[in-house]
């Protein structure tokens, strides 16, 4: 299910962002974690865009039948 994958990615992104506020934060890893977080955010954005397109297609199909 696409929705659960998106939710899992959002949860992971939230955990990554929390790391920046936690006690384990260090500058050596910050750049790497930031890049990972940005890449994950882009994946989530793309997933949401694809889901939106699927919803539009389904909506158009139902509109044709009415």
pLDDT digits (tens, 9 = 90+) for 15-29: 999 999 999 999 999
Q: What is the pLDDT of residue 65?
A: 63
Q: What pTM was estimated for this model as a whole? A: 0.77
Three-class secondary structure of residue 23 per DSSP = coil
Q: Which stretches within the chain are classed as H helix? A: 2-21, 27-65
**Domain boundaries along the sequence of the chain:** 2-65
pLDDT tens digit string along 3-14? Answer: 789 999 999 999
Three-state DSSP state, 26: coil
Radius of gyration in angstroms for the set of CA atoms belonging to the chain, rounded to a whole number: 17
Instruction: Give pLDDT, residue 1.
Output: 59
Q: Greater confidence, 26 or 62?
A: 26
């Amino acid at each position: 299910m696409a929705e659960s994958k998106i939710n899992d990615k959002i949860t992971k992104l939230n955990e990554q962002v929390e790391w920046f506020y936690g006690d384990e934060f260090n500058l050596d890893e910050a750049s790497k974690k930031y890049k990972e977080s940005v890449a994950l955010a882009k994946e989530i954005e793309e997933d949401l865009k694809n889901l939106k397109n699927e919803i539009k297609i389904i909506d158009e199909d139902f509109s044709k039948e009415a």
